[in-house]
Amino acid sequence: MTRRLDTRTLFIMLAALAVGVAWAAFNLASTDGARNDAVVRALVWAVFAAPFALFLGWLAARRYELGLAAFCCFCLYFFTFFVAQRIESLVVSPEAAAGNGHSLYFTLAIAIHTIVGIGLSIWRAIAPPIAASAAQTADVG
């Protein structure tokens, strides 16, 4: 069985991801490096926007994959905190990270969301729809 690229799914998911990444980058840039109570909302959007937008794009492309989309996008959102923090701790001293408002952490979070989001988009564009896979399995067995 050859796998074809579902360009519709790929386009919708990548477009949604691009909007989310742009919104995240805009919110991070709008803080001007400040880290206080006044910019908490912008910082939350900086780490939440891309996975949320990817989730919405995934639903727009393949509504019947709600569970898979929710699971994958939640994992992307949740585990990025740990990966970005670990990379920051390996590259920058805790004092320097606190001094610059953890700018590397937030930049890494957006970069990880972008890279993994592209990977998820390609994966779903290449993989057959879940409903089609289930129907083929039922016909074979």
Residue 2 covered by a domain: no
Residue 130 host element (H or E):
helix 130-140
Residue 62 covered by a domain: yes
Residue 122 covered by a domain: yes
Separation CA 39–CA 31 (nearest Å) = 6
Angstrom CA distances, 13 to 49, 103, 106, stand at 14, 27, 22
Range of the domain at 98: 7-133
Query: What is the residue whose two structure tokens read 């794009």?
Result: 57
Residue 1 covered by a domain: no
pTM attached to this predicted model: 0.87
pLDDT values of the chain reduced to their tens digit, one per residue, 141 residues: 567 899 999 999 999 999 999 999 999 999 998 899 999 999 999 999 999 999 999 999 999 999 999 999 999 999 999 999 999 999 999 999 999 999 999 999 999 999 999 999 999 999 887 765 555 555 555
Residue 99 covered by a domain: yes
Our count of domains for the chain comes to: 1
Residue among 102, 87, 107 nearest 35 (CA): 102
